[in-house]
Amino acid sequence: MAGMILMVAIIFGVIFGYIALAPGWTTTGRLWWMGFVGLVFAFIAYLVYAGTEAKPIRLLAGGLFVVGVGSYYGAILVNPDQSQTLLWLVILSVFMLIILAFIFVMARQAEATRVRVSQRKLTP
């Protein structure tokens, strides 16, 4: 488990380092690509969590989700063209609320599953 998390962290760090130091990119472009990569890695980590149900992987997916969303918000707020900033902020906020609602439903389902499983008795 620790090996998988370490591999993801190293790959994520290398990709983020490349994006942060790539010459010729604007700040908005860098933040947008960091958000995109963060959300892609969060989705991959979530799929791994769905297969393993390991708590560290779930925490990694949540952290990558926060990094991705924060980078997207940063790209919107740093953009020098302010004509569509409010529109993009509303669209991204609605999208994030939908994702958070899905996370809430999945957490409730996981809790119900844990309760149901804990009530089972093993026969000797």
Lowest-confidence pick of 1-5, 23-27, 63-67: 1-5
Spatial neighbors of 1 by CB under 8 A, at least 6 apart, are 52, 54, 56, 57
Q: Which amino acid is at 114?
A: R
Only one residue has tokens 């994702």, namely 99
What is the model's pLDDT at position 122? 67
Q: Which two tokens stand for residue 59?
A: 């925490």
Q: Is the pLDDT of residue 31 over 70?
A: yes
Query: pLDDT band for position 94 (50/70/90)?
Result: very high
Spatial neighbors of 68 by CB under 8 A, at least 6 apart, are 34, 35, 36, 37, 38, 39, 40, 41, 42
Lowest-confidence pick of 38-47, 62-71, 109-118: 109-118
Q: Please say whether the beta carbons of 64 and 45 come within 8 A.
A: yes
Length of the chain: 124
What is the model's pLDDT at position 88? 85
Residues 69-96 as b/e (b if ≥16 CB within 10 A, e otherwise) read bebbbbbbeebeeeeeeeeeeeebeeee
Q: What is the largest CA-CA distance in the chain?
A: 70
Q: What is the pLDDT of residues 5-27, one digit of tens each?
A: 788 788 888 998 898 888 888 88
- Helices 27-52 and 55-78: crossing angle in degrees, nearest 10, is 160
